[in-house]
Structures are given as structure tokens and as C-alpha cells.
């Protein structure tokens, strides 16, 4: 299980660790954004410092309805105590965790300042 808290702005936060070059792990505080269907979004300056691998450009619709081109990189995140290689989009405004990273997990948020955020893996369905 992973845990976080709700900040003063009502945003659910979770601390992530991203692997940079070599074996260095970088801690990042990210907002859980259920309106974002990608894996993770980071600012370009952080992507550059982690030396992530560029994959492609893609068109993305922002919350305000504007469509923008954004760079997509591959990177490694520690998720539920396991390293996962994921796609990371570049955008300004801080780190965002999207629903692709939450796939297969249950998200519980106590929506109040200081509230608990819990993310727990769902049981594997039996056929």
C-alpha cells in the first residue's frame, strides 16, 4: 500500500521516487489527477536533470480544452516498491500522476486538509 496526504489546496499528494542516471533515486511530490489519463507528467527541467530517454511528440488535450504538443519520455518510477518503466509527458505546472499509473489499484482519498490518501493493489481476478 502507498500513502499520501491532502494538501491545503485539497489536492491529493503522493511522494514518488524516479530513477535518474545510474542508480540515483530522485524524490518527487506529485498530485493525483484523475482527469489525466497518462502515467506521469513532469516539468521539462526535471526531465532534463533525470536524463530521461526521449520517445516522441504527441498531442494532448489540457483541462482547459486546449490541445498542445508535448514531448514524451520513458523513465523508471518506483511504484508500490517495484520499479516500473513508464511514459512521462513533459508539461509545466508540477508533477501529476495519471490514471494509467493507477490501473489495477484502488484509490481512497479523505478529502479534507491533512486527509489520508491510500493506494492499494486490487486482487487479481480469478478466471
- In sequence order, which residues have a C-beta less than 8 Å from that of residue 2 and are 6 or more positions away? 14, 79, 80, 118, 119, 120
- Return the higher-pLDDT residue of 96 and 22: 96
Domains of the chain, first to last: 15-106 (2.40.70.10)
Predicted pLDDT at 20: 82
**127 pLDDT exceeds 80?**
no
Predicted pLDDT at 68: 82
Q: Average model confidence (pLDDT) for the chain?
A: 92
Q: Percentage of the chain surpassing pLDDT 90?
A: 74
Amino acid at each position: 500500500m502507498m500513502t499520501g496526504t491532502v494538501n491545503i489546496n485539497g489536492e491529493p499528494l503522493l511522494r514518488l521516487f524516479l530513477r535518474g542516471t545510474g542508480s540515483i533515486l530522485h524524490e518527487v511530490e506529485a498530485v493525483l489527477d484523475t482527469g489525466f489519463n497518462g502515467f506521469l507528467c513532469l516539468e521539462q527541467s526535471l526531465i532534463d536533470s533525470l536524463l530521461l530517454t526521449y520517445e516522441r511528440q504527441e498531442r494532448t488535450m489540457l483541462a482547459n480544452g486546449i490541445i498542445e504538443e508535448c514531448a514524451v519520455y520513458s523513465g523508471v518510477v518506483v511504484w508500490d516498491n517495484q520499479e516500473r518503466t513508464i511514459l512521462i509527458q513533459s508539461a509545466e505546472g508540477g508533477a501529476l500522476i495519471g490514471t494509467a499509473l493507477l490501473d489495477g489499484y484502488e484509490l481512497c482519498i479523505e478529502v479534507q486538509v491533512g486527509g489520508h490518501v491510500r493506494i492499494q493493489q486490487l486482487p487479481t481476478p480469478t478466471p
